[in-house]
Chain A
Amino acid sequence: MPEISSQLKSYIPSRTAIVYALVAGIWIAFSDHLLGLMVDDPGILIRFQTYKGWFFVLVTAILLYFALRRQVLLLEQKSQQLILHERQFRTLVDNASLPIFIQTNGVFAYLNRQALNLYGTVSPESLLGRPVLERVHPQHHQEVLARIRLLNEEKESVPSLEQIHLRLDGLEFFVDVSAAPFQFQGRDGAVVFAQDITEKKKFEMELRELNQQLEQRVRERTARLEEVNQELEAFSYSVSHDLRAPLRGIDGFSQALLEDYHDRLDDQGRDYLQRVRKASQRMGLLIDDLLKLSRVSRAELIVTTVNLSRLAEDVLVGLAESEPERDVEVVVEQGLTVTADSTLIQIVLENLLDNAWKFTRYNFLPRVEFGRRMVNDEQVFFLKDNGAGFDMTYAGKLFTAFQRLHSPERFPGTGIGLATTARIIRRHGGKIWAEAEPDKGATFFFTLPEVLITGDQLV
């Protein structure tokens, strides 16, 4: 404590001396003169002078006593304070939850409880006076020596560093070590903070291992998925090429029979052959629709802004041209746009409008309407017709492949169109559902999120 020591060393002694010199000087200068004015008799004067001398000694002795007593009390108080401070700091350091030790000349000079604990002991004697390097893994010796040099010579703190240290029983552990220059018991050294990071390291290593395992698993899964995808691709490619050829044979040769052997077949025989042809053609359609469904799942989504209104109108024009004899009232809300894959969304509209067109066939005043409603700030598109409708009991089957709610005689179809439609909507992250009543028409609703989920999901 510089404040106390300077006070004790120079300020107070010199002040005391100056005050004494002043008082004594004034006394000597004026007391004889004053006495001379008051007393004339030389005999009495001498006696009084002697008394005055005694008086001076008495007063200065008393003053000295009080001054010294004050100094001593002050000193005692200060040293008590010092001892208290020292004890407080020592307790603080001893009980600190962070391991702290002091090294001087590379040797342990002090260790707190946590530091002892860190090295696997409770008695300071087993470490005090031992070289720090004994507790450091040999791979770090060079850098530790360099750090000690830096601390001693440059008086600079050294930044924290991860090291492997050794317990007294030889067990290795990870520590994060930082140090600052520190004088201890008159010797140059350093106060060292050593934090045990073994748990953290272990955790990190486990995490790294888990991550690697996870990555490995993802790689395996991806490879497997790619494999399955390739198999699927090869499968549908083969279906596309190989399954249709026999059908062509069945249909073609049935037709050849009908043409070339017409007169040798009776009506029933010709009817059977027509049925064979019809069945093969239907199977051709089924294969085509199945391929479309699988293509929809495999195709990569290329997202752009799509004008649904215009797309719907184009499809409806095509339908009207295919059946010019029909008169269907068509209502399309203008300016409906979405962000989606235009090729796939066209398939959605084709399937839905095709259905609406088809199922209003037996209606006296057929009507098809395409529009949009806003529900909770979300665009919900709808396609409403007043056709055959269906019983909502079976609505769950609507979007499953090969499920049909009507007879193929009244309404031809493969039962794959809505499955394809639903798959496209789902791949866009949207939803599709329907509401209907038998003979009152059906309404199909679908949503297409504005912001698409990135990453192509495999359906």
Chain B
Amino acid sequence: MSRKNILLVEDNPDDVLLTRRALQKNNILNELVVAEDGVEALDYLFGQGKYAGRDVRIQPQVILLDIKLPRMDGIEVLRRIRANESTRLLPVVMLTSSSEERDRLETYSLGANSYIRKPVDFHQFIDAVRQLGLYWLVLNESPPLPKGG
């Protein structure tokens, strides 16, 4: 059984590179799919637009979702993921710069599984990614696939 992938929704290429590096440093070898904004993330998840024809029965093991994104922000993406029958059970980890109370409140209300603030210190960032990978990719059992479809 092949490893399931990780969907990273992040518009900052530096952050993408650093996240990739942090995953590598922690020997997390799952494929990293990157969506640069909310619209692209939904295209991937629902197999539409740029990703038309993708086999949507294969969904990421975990979605790492930034909040501030061009076109459609992370909160709206989360809302759509939770509203759609085929994606509503996917684990979504908010991975963001801010720890604004209203962001935490809103994302948890919408059913985010976790909220992680990206630390400035890269050592701390690597550690955060390590724990995140360990938990969501190893320890945590994925929800069953939706029946039918």
Residue positions of A touching B, CB distance < 8 A: 237, 240-242, 244-249, 251-256, 277, 280-281, 283-284, 295
Contact = CB atoms under 8 A, between A and B. Distances in A.
8 contacts: A237-B98, A244-B118, A247-B120, A248-B125, A249-B15, A256-B18, A256-B122, A283-B120
A80 B122 CA distance: 117
B18 A248 contact: yes
B95 to A, nearest CB: 12
Given A237-B100, A240-B99, A241-B68, A249 B14 contact: yes
A322 to B, nearest CB: 16
Given A240-B98, A244-B97, A281 B120 contact: yes
Nearest to A246: B14
Interface residues on B, range: 20 to 34
Given A247-B120, A280-B120, A281-B120, A241 B15 contact: no
B100 A284 contact: no
B63 interface: no
Contacts of B118: 244, 248
Nearest to B25: A259
B15 A245 contact: yes
Contact of A251 (B12, B100, B120): B120
A248 B99 contact: no
B141 interface: no
A244 B14 CA distance: 12
Contacts of B15: 245, 248-249
Contact of B97 (A241, A253, A281): A241
Interface of B: 12, 14-15, 18, 21, 67-68, 96-101, 118-123, 125
A435 to B, nearest CB: 35
B97 A240 contact: yes
Contacts of B120: 244, 247-248, 251, 280-281, 283-284
A248 B68 CA distance: 16
Contacts of B68: 241-242
A252 B25 CA distance: 13
Given A240-B100, A242-B97, A277-B122, 7 more contacts: A241-B96, A248-B122, A251-B122, A252-B14, A252-B125, A253-B18, A277-B121
Contacts of A252: 14, 18, 21, 122, 125
Contacts of B101: 295
A237 B68 CA distance: 10
B96 to A, nearest CB: 7
A240 B12 CA distance: 15
